[in-house]
Amino acid sequence: GGPAGLTAAIYLGRAGVETKVYDPAVPGGMVFMVHQIENYPGFPDGISGRELAAKMEAQAKRFGAEIVQVGVKKVYREDKEFKLDLTDHQELMARAVVIATGSNPRSLGIPGEQELLGRGVSYCATCDGNFFRNEDVAVIGGGDSAVQEALYLSQICKTVYLVHRRDQLRAKKILEQRAADRENLRFQLNSLPQEIIGKDQVEGLKIMDKDRGKEQILKVTGVFIYVGMKPETDPVKGLVELNPDGFIKALENTRTSVPGIFAVGDVRGKPTRQVASAVADGCNAALAIEEYFLEYR
């Protein structure tokens, strides 16, 4: 039900393919939670995630796609078709399946994280960084994603604290060097996040020096968390091939290791996780499905 799945439904419905979109939540996926999207083409003044999701849902329905507020527990291969075991105890047969279940950021599990989500706590600097222009922020994590997003934030924020629990970053050396060269990017290594502080908005991040046990509070208005992503692959685990990080291995045309199953959006192993790239996946999947139907009549 996110941008990738709804785009696939739009294209398939328009092509006259009977299409059902299964999602136990409100259509829109993670986008539904984004306050303002400013980098999606066609909306120069930006658009809320909720409004964009509603427009995509309406467009899919206009072309005949059926939105079903039910989840899919498991997908089974039966000859050239697939059986879907649904959460309402029903079953469905399908000629092709698009897996658009997305992924969720791994949480730290510290006080204030969930309470201040969307009010200074974010898992996407590209999405929300502009709201913290000329302010002090913290990025938690030490991998490539954390350092890349810290570099991005350092261009628009006053000070960026890069907080990592080890004494060395895990990111590529070239990224680490770029970060070290930024005067307003400060490393906080060997530091464990303890609490995100604030009442209605983020006001600070409490960290503890892992070696000395000393605590300090970084006065920041934004906390960006990058401690990994967890792809939602349960429906097809054991059926399609996954990469070492647990994401579905799929070609650029979204075809997986199983003919007839296609992976789109954040559940697919790829470097970019944006609304625009999810929409591209949805389009590619629909076209690939039409080709697949010609191959397996």
Task: State pLDDT tens for residues 216-259.
Answer: 999 999 999 999 888 999 999 999 999 998 999 999 999 999 99
User: Which residues are part of the catalytic machinery?
Assistant: 124, 127-128
DSSP annotation of 249: P
Give the pLDDT score at 27.
Answer: 82
Instruction: Please provide the DSSP assignment of 16-59 as one string.
Output: T---EEE-SS-TTGGGGG-S-B-SSTT-TT-B-HHHHHHHHHHH
Q: How remote is the C-alpha of 278 from its chain's centroid? A: 10
* b/e burial code for range 58-68 (CB count within 10 A of at least 16 → b): ebbbebbbebb
With 0-12 CB in 10 A as exposed, 13-18 as middle and 19+ as buried, what is 183? Answer: exposed
Query: Does residue 29 register a pLDDT over 70?
Result: yes
Give the pLDDT score at 106.
Answer: 87
Give the pLDDT score at 35.
Answer: 64
Any idea which residue has 């439904």 for tokens? 9
Task: State pLDDT tens for residues 152-172.
Answer: 999 999 999 999 999 999 899
Query: Which residue, 285, 194, 289, is CA-closest to 8?
Result: 285
Q: Quote the CA–CA distance of 221 and 143 in Å, as a whole number.
A: 22
Read off the pLDDT band of 38 (50, 70, 90).
confident
Give the pLDDT score at 189.
Answer: 97
Query: Does residue 33 register a pLDDT over 70?
Result: no
Ranges 9-13, 124-128, 136-140, 199-203: which has the least confidence: 124-128
Any idea which residue has 């999602």 for tokens? 23
Task: State pLDDT tens for residues 107-146.
Answer: 999 999 999 999 999 998 877 899 999 999 999 999 988 9
